[in-house]
Every structure is written in C-alpha cells, then in structure tokens.
C-alpha cells in the first residue's frame, strides 16, 4: 500500500533525506518537491519490490529504512547481486531509460521507501542541477563528494593555496614578453631589466610560436662567460627547444614539466591555435604559493642529494608532500602520478650515484620499473619491483658487476622506505638482470607457454617502464609484448581467467563483503578492488594492441577501440580512482602512526565501519563497477 506523505511530515522527511547525496547538495525547496511528489511504501522481508515482469519502471525509489537486493537469474553468483540500503536511490539506470529492470529486487528486511513517479523525476532533474548530475553521472558524483570530504579532513595540513587541477588558462596572469630572433642581446637584456622579468621569449614573427627562451639563469653561462657581445642576435644564445604547455593543460602538468626538466619558466600557448601562439608565461613562483614545500623543492633536493643518507632524509618529504596534496583535493590519478614521479626522481638519483661508484655505463644499460611504478600508480605503501636490461656481447662476464650494482641500489631503496620485494622481483635477482634478447626470449616464452607462474609474471613484468639509463633498450620489449600477446588467443584466455581469480568485495546479496579483524570489519582495497581494474585494463590493452601501461590511459584507449559508451568508460576510470583515493587515505593515516603500528599488517585494509556515509556508498559503487568489468571479461573470453 502506498500513501502520499502528509504536510506535517514533509519537514521531517526533508531533514532525513538531506543526510544523503544528492539531497545534501540540493536546494531545500527541491528536496521538498521530491518528498511531496513521492508516495510512501512498505515491503516485508522477502517481498518482491521490482522485477523484469513488472514492465517499464514507473518510479524512482528512495530507501528510508531496510535494504533491497537485486539478483539476475536463479543462483548464478558469478553474475552477481546488487544491494541497496538506507539512503540509496534505485533503479537509476532503468528509470532514466524508462525500461524494465533486468534483475529481481527483493526486500531483505522490513523496508520503507519513498517512490517518485518518473514524470516528477524528470521535472525535478530539469530544475535541480545536483539531482540531474547525480542521476546522469552517479559514480563521478559519488567520487566528487568523497574527494571533497577528504579535502576538508586534510585542509588544515594543506601547504598550497591553489589546486593542481586548475587549467593554465586560469593561472596565467601576465603576457609573455617576446622578441624576434634577430633582436640584439642589448635590447633583450635591457627589456628584462626595465620590466623586471626573469626571462624573455624568442617568438616566430608570423605565428607567435616560441622558438627559444633566455632566462636570467642562462645569461652567465651563455653570454657572460662565453664573451658574447651584446650586439649579437639573441637567437645565438637562446635555449632551444622550448618546453611549452597549452591553456588546457593543468597546474599539475606544469609542475611535472618544471621538475622533470629543471626549468623555472613555462610558456603557455593558445590551445585553440594550431600554430602554437604563446599567450603567456608561467614561472615557478606563479605556479606554487607554498608555505614550506613544493614539488620543485622536493625534486630539487632529491637531485642534489650527494649520498644515500641524504636521500633517506629527503624521501620523507614525499609523504609530507602527498599529505599536503590531499589537503588541496588533488585527484587520486594525479596524486599517484606525482608520488610515482618523485619516486622516479629518487630512484634515478640513487641509480646514478651507485653507478658512478661501481663504474656502470648507463649508456649500455637501463633500470626498469615494473608493477605499480611501471604504471605510474604508486601509493605510499609500495615495495620494489625493478630490473635491468643491458647490452653486452658477453652477458655472463658482465652480469656479476651489474648484480653487485643492483644489490646496492635495492638496499639503498629499502633504506629510503621502499621495502625489498618479497617475491624477489628486483634487479639484484639474476632473473631480472638480462640483456634485451634474454628479456624478449623470456617474454615470448611466457606468452607461448602460459603456465600459471608465467601468467603471474606477465601481470607484473608486462607493465614495465624504462626509468634510468638507455631507454631505447626497452622499446623492442614493449613492441614484442603488444604485438605477440594479441595474436595468441590461448594466452589471452588464460589472462582473462587470471583476471577473474579474485572478485570484488561484494557478498551474494550485493552488499560490501568484509572480513573480521579484531573489532574491525575490513576490505582489502587492492586485492578485491584496484587489482580488478588493473587486470582488466591490462587484458584489454594487450588484446587491442594498446602500448600504454597506466590503467587510466589503457581504459581511455580500449574504450575507443571497443566502442564502449562514454558513461561506462567514465565509470571504469572513476571507480578505479575511488579505490586508489581510499588506499592513499588509509596509507597516509597509517604512515602518521608510531612506526611500530605502521609497520604491521596489510596497508590496503580499510575498516568499513569507520567510513562515513559517502565513502561507504562510493566504495560499494566502485566495487559494483569492478564486478561489471569482470562480467564483461567473462562474456568476452569464457563463454
């Protein structure tokens, strides 16, 4: 039986709804409209709420108390179930498409609901942007709410005044001063002095594109010490090529560019101009208004470290910096990329220092990163996965020296807070220190034979990335993996089976499946969360010849190749980002505890009981997306 809520209940129901998304973001008057247009309904345990036989969905349901589970078919657990609890709206997809549901939804307990007719739903969506946005982009909306809540929690620790997500078009506050290539140095330097600017661009006189740059830092080495007369044209001493970014790039992109190339100025071009016309210039001072710590400061300190002891001290700044970025509300993808970049910088410096001491020629060898570092997706708690590829006419003779060099690097990384790999996937292992031919033979054997250990190795090693030394040695290895794997149907099927080994942390009713650990109810966010996304992205990337290693880039590429609807592809990347963000939150909290506590246990376990309402919902939604990914794999490869 259904009843419209009486007027004296509207205020109470409004307060009840505004505890949950999207009502908490809606105008109270719009929440009242939802309540007034809804009918109340009660379902007893075991009663069917909706089924495919009900026909096209006629209403959107909000659960006030109790819970509802939806299951397809009879008992096929591999197909999975969905559980909706107090505060949930369902079935959003069927309601938006005005179609029948594809599962049977049954009340698990005494369940009280509000049922909003579809006509009222569409009218409210036209007038309430938060409501419409939630219905159309459910996973993304949950993610945004979760990220905002996390930002508030870390705001007091934030060291920056602006977001790294800000487009450069919004950050450029001054036009770039530029001169023609033939401009005498005297004129250019005089302008720098008069305008009190730290650099001058050399611009193409027709297109306005950047041809070169001269900074105050360059003048000593390029002009003064070389004795260049001031009558000479600036083109003779300018730095080239110029590293530029467009107005569509973000502050994060500028920060990474400055750090990677050791530069202090980045010209910004008009993204809409195919000729690359410069519209402004961004300096390090413009980009970061940090009180104590910046990406450039951390990376500069790492690159300048003279020894391992100094690197060990500087490594702690990476965690401090990550915590400050959480306070800015930086997204998980950007945060893990920045963490991975700083880890790269530290590893490169270590490799360089130790190579000099051991006499290792890095023009004939390359340090490789595997696993999460190879994907640029490292979190705070990460161990080592690395190797070496080298060129040699006599590998047996040269390998011992390389292994001794690698052992010192591995031990130094351990001292800096990156534990030794328990599976011994490290460059100091002779099986991870191979020539290009040996690596390619090994990769080819894994693909051709596909033994269980080969599949495990492929899931680690195939995400490799060159990190320090001669990167060209790794390119043929990447080409072999991309081309050879996609042509081997048996191997791809085995990879699919491997990707289905561990399911998402959802129980048979579709609720979050937790494990008891003391007084906590925990979920392994990696094993039963992010690993599912990573494995699925790798599988489809190999199948479609996608060379990218990062999970997000893989999803974007395979979605285009597979013709996946934009909304589904967005859910993949958003779901993965949700779980990464939760992992980072857990690990940073552990990292701030006393060492005896932080060193114990699994760093990817999250206590579901300790989550706020938003994070519990976003966790469940992300696990549902992971399950749908596995269902796609099952249909594509196992049926």
Q: CATH number, domain at 59?
A: 2.60.120.10
User: Distance between alpha carbon 534 and the CA centroid of its chain, in Å?
Assistant: 11
Residue 200 lies in domain: 171-287
Q: Is the same domain home to 373 and 420?
A: yes
Mean pLDDT of 59-77: 79
Would 585 be classed as within a structural domain? Answer: yes
User: In the structure, what pLDDT confidence band is assigned to residue 588 with cuts at 50, 70 and 90?
Assistant: confident
The 10 Å CB-count burial string (b at 16+, else e) for 220-229 is eebbeeeeee
φ, ψ of residue 68 in degrees (nearest 5): -135, 135
Q: Is the same domain home to 120 and 195?
A: no
Whether residue 604 contacts residue 524, with contact meaning beta carbons closer than 8 Å, is answered with yes
Q: Is the same domain home to 593 and 516?
A: yes
User: Which tokens in the block code for residue 61?
Assistant: 């349901």
pLDDT surpasses 50 at 595: no
Task: Return the DSSP state at 500.
Answer: T
Give the SS3 label for residue 245.
Answer: strand
Where is the domain boundary, 136, 161, 187?
136
pLDDT surpasses 90 at 2: no
Task: Return the DSSP state at 427.
Answer: T
Mean pLDDT of 314-340: 76
Q: Is the same domain home to 271 and 361?
A: no
**What count of other Cβ atoms lies within 10 Å of the Cβ of residue 274?**
8
Would 404 be classed as within a structural domain? Answer: yes
Pairing mode, strands 178-179 and 199-203: parallel
User: Which tokens in the block code for residue 91?
Assistant: 């079935």
Q: Which among 125, 118, 71, 130 has a CA at the least distance from the CA of 94?
A: 118
Pairing mode, strands 278-283 and 265-269: antiparallel
Would 65 be classed as within a structural domain? Answer: yes
Q: Which pLDDT tens digit goes with each residue over 94-148?
A: 888 778 888 899 999 999 999 999 999 999 999 998 898 888 766 555 555 555 5
Q: Is the same domain home to 71 and 121?
A: yes
Q: Residues near 224 by Cβ (< 8 Å), separated by ≥ 6?
A: none
Q: Which among 64, 63, 66 has a CA at the least distance from the CA of 108?
A: 66
Would 606 be classed as within a structural domain? Answer: yes
At residue 96, the pLDDT reads 80
Candidate ranges 254-258, 261-265, 626-630; pick with highest mean pLDDT:
626-630
Would 326 be classed as within a structural domain? Answer: no
At residue 216, the pLDDT reads 85
Q: Is the same domain home to 88 and 217?
A: no
Would 322 be classed as within a structural domain? Answer: no
Whether residue 385 contacts residue 339, with contact meaning beta carbons closer than 8 Å, is answered with no
Q: Is the same domain home to 460 and 370?
A: yes
Which has more confidence, 166 or 149? 166
**Least confidently predicted of 79-83, 473-477, 479-483, 603-607:** 79-83
User: In the structure, what pLDDT confidence band is assigned to residue 288 with cuts at 50, 70 and 90?
Assistant: low
User: Distance between alpha carbon 189 and the CA centroid of its chain, in Å?
Assistant: 43
Q: CATH number, domain at 242?
A: 3.10.580.10
Would 255 be classed as within a structural domain? Answer: yes
pLDDT surpasses 90 at 542: yes
Mean pLDDT of 285-308: 72
Q: Which pLDDT tens digit goes with each residue over 374-423?
A: 998 887 767 899 999 999 999 999 999 999 999 999 999 999 888 999 99
Q: Is the same domain home to 81 and 216?
A: no
Is the bond leading into 91 cis (omega within 30 degrees of zero)?
yes
Q: Is the same domain home to 110 and 183?
A: no
At residue 78, the pLDDT reads 38
Q: Which pLDDT tens digit goes with each residue over 208-239?
A: 999 999 988 889 888 888 888 999 999 999 99
Q: Is the same domain home to 108 and 226?
A: no
Dihedral class, residue 249 (left if φ above 0, else alpha if ψ from -120 to 50, else beta): beta
Mean pLDDT of 47-62: 93
Task: Tell me the C-alpha distance between 491 and 45, whole Å.
Answer: 46
For every residue of 251-315, which 3-state class applies, written as one string? Answer: HHHHHHHHHHHCCCEEEEECCCCCCCEEEEEEEHHHHCCCCCCCHHHHHHHHHHCCCHHHHHHHH
Burial class (CB in 10 A: 0-12, 13-18, 19+), 291: exposed
Report how many domains make up the chain. 3
Q: Is the same domain home to 500 and 632?
A: yes
At residue 332, the pLDDT reads 67
State if pTM tops 0.85. no
Would 28 be classed as within a structural domain? Answer: yes
């Amino acid at each position: 039986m259904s009843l419209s809520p009486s007027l004296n209940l509207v205020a109470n129901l409004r307060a009840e709804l505004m505890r949950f998304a999207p009502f908490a973001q809606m105008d109270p008057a719009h929440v009242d409209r939802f309540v007034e247009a809804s009918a109340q309904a009660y379902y007893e345990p075991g009663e069917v709420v909706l089924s495919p036989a009900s026909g096209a969905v006629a209403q959107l349901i909000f659960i006030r108390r109790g819970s509802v589970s939806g299951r397809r078919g009879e008992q096929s657990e591999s197909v999975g179930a969905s559980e909706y609890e107090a505060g949930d709206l369902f079935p959003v997809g069927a309601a938006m498409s005005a179609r029948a549901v594809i599962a049977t939804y049954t009340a698990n307990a005494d369940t009280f609901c509000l049922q909003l007719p579809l006509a009222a739903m569409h009218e409210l969506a036209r007038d309430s942007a938060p409501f419409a946005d939630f219905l159309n982009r459910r996973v993304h909306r949950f993610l945004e709410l979760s990220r905002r809540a996390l930002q508030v929690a870390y705001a007091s620790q934030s060291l920056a005044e602006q977001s790294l997500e800000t487009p450069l078009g919004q950050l450029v506050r001054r036009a770039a001063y530029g001169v023609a290539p033939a401009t005498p140095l005297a004129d250019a330097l005089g302008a720098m002095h008069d305008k009190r600017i730290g650099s001058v661009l050399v611009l193409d006189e027709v297109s306005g594109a950047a041809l070169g740059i001269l900074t105050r830092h360059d003048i000593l080495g390029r002009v003064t010490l070389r004795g260049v007369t001031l009558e000479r044209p600036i083109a003779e001493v300018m730095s080239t090529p110029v590293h530029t970014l467009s107005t569509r790039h973000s502050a994060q992109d500028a920060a990474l560019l400055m750090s990677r190339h050791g530069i202090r100025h980045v010209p910004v071009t008009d993204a809409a101009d195919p000729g690359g016309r410069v519209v402004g210039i961004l300096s390090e001072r413009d980009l970061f208004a940090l009180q104590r710590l910046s990406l450039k400061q951390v990376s500069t300190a790492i690159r300048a470290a003279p020894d391992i002891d100094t690197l060990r001290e500087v490594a702690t700044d990476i965690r401090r910096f990550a915590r400050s970025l959480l306070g800015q509300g930086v997204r998980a993808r950007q945060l893990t990329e920045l963490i991975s970049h700083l880890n790269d910088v530290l590893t490169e410096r270590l490799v360089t220092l130790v190579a000099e001491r051991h006499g290792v020629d890095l023009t004939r060898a390359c340090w490789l990163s595997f696993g999460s570092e190879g994907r640029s997706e490292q979190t705070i708690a990460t161990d080592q996965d690395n190797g070496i590829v080298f060129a040699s006419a006599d590998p047996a003779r040269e390998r011992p020296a390389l292994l001794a060099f690698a052992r010192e690097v591995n031990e130094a990384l351990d001292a800096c807070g990156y534990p030794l790999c328990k599976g011994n996937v490290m460059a100091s292992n002779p099986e991870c220190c191979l020539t290009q031919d040996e690596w390619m033979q090994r990769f080819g054997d894994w693909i051709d034979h596909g033994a269980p250990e080969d599949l495990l190795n492929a899931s680690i090693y195939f995400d490799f990335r060159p990190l320090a030394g001669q990167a060209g040695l790794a390119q043929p290895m990447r080409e072999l993996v991309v081309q050879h794997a996609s042509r081997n149907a048996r191997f791809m099927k085995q990879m699919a089976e491997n990707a289905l080994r561990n399911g998402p942390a959802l129980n048979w009713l579709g609720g979050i499946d937790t494990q008891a650990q003391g007084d906590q109810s925990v979920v392994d966010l990696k094993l039963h969360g992010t690993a599912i996304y990573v494995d699925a992205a790798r599988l489809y990337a190999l199948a479609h010849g996608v060379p990218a290693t990062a999970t997000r880039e893989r999803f974007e590429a395979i979605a285009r190749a597979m013709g996946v609807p934009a909304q589904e592809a967005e859910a993949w990347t958003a779901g993965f980002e949700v779980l990464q963000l939760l992992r980072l939150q857990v690990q940073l909290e552990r990292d701030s505890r006393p060492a005896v506590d932080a060193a114990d246990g699994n760093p990817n376990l999250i206590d579901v009981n300790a989550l706020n309402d938003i994070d519990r919902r976003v966790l469940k939604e992300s696990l549902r997306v992971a399950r749908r990914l596995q269902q796609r794999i099952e249909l594509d490869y196992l049926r």
